[in-house]
Structure 1
């Protein structure tokens, strides 16, 4: 039996792994201040980035959904791996050898089910690639050559060949130690009437489908032979790894360019993606046997950094009826993007692969230059369904197209497109404008966005419903939170005087009081002036607060501080602590003045004098604070 991974090794893997690099495999991050990065949260849909990463602490936190943790938690949440699998995966990534207690590490039976499936796909992909270089793959080689792909292109994209026959891959994987249960779970095999297995892909060109991280999770197989009775394209069925509604072919190669150029081009096939990339359009991706839908949009928006500050999504469709239907489906999803959406259609109906072969790389790039807004294409595609030569057809066309105009996000464009629609259908402009206005007022539940706007970044969500978190609109509570952010993030920048001020503060909110007490206790335990900082400091604070408040501490550690360099940061840190201390003095002075008003100096002279002395001491403290 395999043992547990040593705690020291887990800590070493965690500390050596750059969480920013890992997260950027899933989310486009932008600078959010010194040592802080932000992007669209991968755990929930949002329009405004509220997901923050702090590499210095090795942690992430979302102010919209309250998800937080370290790099291990991030991988576990997104990849659905176990703790041990995740640590082993990260250790392999950095080349670190793990040690196990009471055992020698995981054997074949103890390796996680998901990792075994990934390994099987890797072995299969290598097998298919090797088969493409054999004499038996002449048809596959000819197919690729006729479409302008070189052997180097095929190797770059991992293209392979599944030989004719019933059990070539089956025998190969069995020889590598995979059980029938594991083979069945891969989706690469079918079951016969006798309960045995045979190869799902036979005599076909194979395109490996990769996840965001680059690991093979499925295959697309193109028919090569006339006697093949199967469909033109045969894909992996739904498995633990492969969910077609959540997969985009080419995303592993395109993700960095999508983030850099803030552009994504959606094409319809595997060879179209390859042609686009090779022609100089590295932002192209394709769906795998399904329409471009909500789950695909989530993936694209994260890499596109779709926060309303730019970016474009370009769909390429054939000009035929099927292409028009695809465009209308895409327009239904358009409202989920904040980026501008366009459509690029080749006038003669050629797809990107055919266009590159016929006219070269420049023609593929020029196709995108001729893009037009998606809603324009959707309007025209809708009008083609009606006979606008008859009055009845014109009215029906107007009624069908008016809701499309009404959905245009830029409301200033709607009147112009209403007038354009009026000209196309040959009806009075005022009548068309009324139809658009009516459509805009009519709820369209069938096209309701699948997400809700994220909460403001400065309004964290409670870790549990039982805890009432501080109201960020309360000036006093905001001052407390800002001071807590400073002592959590940059305790080393506070001098002894600032620490004295902070420890003397009495917070008004119980959550802030609990965090303040934890900071004070850990600070004292660290030897006062020898304040720990970075990851160890934050972890110590998190451990010192009640468990329901750990998410709030994570939020304090992640929020960007308003400074662009260390000097500004040091001034800011001292300033917010001093400001909070000054506010407390004022609040205490107000309380004492009220008490003095209630105290009779003749009948309660001692109490009156005591309160007066406290007021005088506070005034001296306030003046000393102002002078410093």
Structure 2
């Protein structure tokens, strides 16, 4: 299943990682009884139904039904093959696999592949012109004057597009790229005669990449300050590029999020580049537009910690406030804010105070509430009674939403320091808010087909209603007996041996397949572990196995096992009995006395045989 990765190495990787630690990068998990619970990352929900069982090292969603071990999670979350999932978990655990895993991707749309190849050629061409030719000297001087090193320029593949408006077209013609592919790339404008001219000219070229590192477009910065052209020009929307769902530098930054502790969202890509050179490699930025919900969801798939670091001037702080409206109550993101002093942007701060000071500043964060109090005070003079009252009205409304206690006391103290109003007077003036409903506390024990209890989310709210589980499945007594036998076989070697040695056959193919996989896995592994077993289960049965393993059954004994085997073995006889019963009823309705008599005798014989040795029902 894993291709070239040795089984021993797969086991080493799986056993070296706690599934809660890996999943916890993407899901905020909370203790609830025996398991951990959080908001499921695979579907939209408001109450947590995603469970992690640490003793078994598996996950399960009670709503959408997904489940498996840590490798299954990676396969489903990142949409990768099993070997790629092992590679990702190994990287997380700092384990060297000793081999290069080949990506197993679905076939790429030929048109998309052609566009990616074209844009890569243009990226390489523009970068070469910038760093290796006389035509690029002015652009290179501009970048170095801004403090960019050659390593930074190379890291971001920055380039230069000269004034010649036919250069790209000529280059691609030489590369034998057809007209239709060029036309669809977004790199050209077209005149009335369908002639293509370079869209970008005399501009520093910043490649825009998708999360996999493929160039999907460009942003060009005009070099001539006297030019009447727009300062920045982005590629138009194409089959590859839509600026609403692109985050600059995400492809490189995402690998650093865990070590750094958070993604840092900047206003523009020059801020990202300056931050990278200052030693903050986790910067990302939206593409010249306000942050979008699509971009927020993309960030949430890569990290659960986000720091917003926009410009310190008033427009930048207003943009921060707008961004917070999208992210501060996000189910999977915990967000903080950095406020740069003296209205500086990141590049200005780094030049004024140095890289070390900037790295420290990025770690000095405000909570969304603390930032709201800061933002409410912008432009107001606390020596002016009208301004002070305006601030108090807004600030107290903000703090009233914070749960009473230490957290609220901290913010009231901040307001007191800003305004000079005593904390006790501020408490009296707090607006009344609707009381929070707290869910009753109880110890939860997993039970078949029962949803987990409601859990508080990461912002202190509570859930008063139960989770809505997936539609419950109902199994007849024969299938239930098979499910119970299979569950016992996983936890009791004697049960598995008894079924195997007696050549017991499950009546349902999926249970037989799961049992066969267990027998094979257990024979080669000592001791067998359920999380490891899941790697040997057919992919379409992993969720079934996970769900079944979470069911709770009484302790088995020999009599119980014997009864279950007997009951499961009678399913075919029961089906035959029902067929004869239906035929008998039809014969009676049609008035076929001879047929009814014969079928009646057959029914009695089958019923007697069915009941012989049966358990009480």
Q: C-alpha displacement at 1:132, in angstroms?
A: 0.9
| Structure 2 match to 1:26 | none
What is the count of residue pairs matched by the alignment?
Answer: 492
Q: C-alpha displacement at 1:407, in angstroms?
A: 4.5
Superposed, 1:286-435 pairs within 5 Å as: 286-304=285-303, 306=304, 312-332=305-325, 333-336=327-330, 340-386=334-380, 388-389=382-383, 391-408=385-402, 412-418=406-412, 420-421=414-415, 424-425=418-419, 432-433=426-427
Distance 1:265 1:34 in 2: 22
Q: C-alpha displacement at 1:154, in angstroms?
A: 0.8
| Structure 2 match to 1:517 | 508
| Structure 1 match to 2:473 | 469
Cα 1:375–1:97 change in 2 (3 A) is closer
Match of 2:124 among 103, 123, 126: 126
Cα 1:225–1:65 change in 2 (3 A) is farther
- Aligned partner of residue 238 in structure 1, secondary structure: coil
Deviations 1:292-324 (A, max 9, x none): 3322222222322x3xxxxx4222122211111
Superposed, 1:50-89 pairs within 5 Å as: 50=50, 64-66=63-65
Distance 1:234 1:491 in 2: 66
Deviations 1:56-101 (A, max 9, x none): xxx99866545699999969979xxxxxxxxxxxxxx966999xxx
Deviations 1:383-406 (A, max 9, x none): 225555555544433333334324
Distance 2:518 2:378 in 1: 78
RMSD between aligned residues: 5.5
Distance 1:34 1:331 in 2: 27
Distance 1:523 1:237 in 2: 51
Distance 2:403 2:167 in 1: 54
Distance 1:554 1:524 in 2: 13
- Aligned partner of residue 205 in structure 2, secondary structure: strand
Contact 1:526–1:532 at 8 Å: present in 2 too?
no
> Structure 2: any 5+ residue segments left out of the alignment?
7-15, 28-39, 53-57, 81-99, 437-457, 525-532, 568-608
Distance 2:498 2:125 in 1: 68
- Aligned partner of residue 259 in structure 1, secondary structure: helix
Q: C-alpha displacement at 1:160, in angstroms?
A: 1.0
TM-score, normalization by structure 2 = 0.63
Match of 1:554 among 530, 537, 542: 542
Distance 2:51 2:279 in 1: 32
Cα 1:402–1:194 change in 2 (3 A) is farther
1:152 correspondence with 2:145: no
TM-score, normalization by structure 1 = 0.62
> Structure 1: any 5+ residue segments left out of the alignment?
1-11, 19-28, 53-58, 79-92, 99-105, 307-311, 443-448, 463-467, 505-514, 543-549, 563-571, 590-609, 619-628
1:31 correspondence with 2:18: yes
Distance 1:184 1:559 in 2: 51
Contact 1:125–1:160 at 8 Å: present in 2 too?
yes
- Aligned partner of residue 143 in structure 2, secondary structure: helix
Q: C-alpha displacement at 1:255, in angstroms?
A: 1.1
Deviations 1:555-581 (A, max 9, x none): 13456979xxxxxxxxx99x9894798
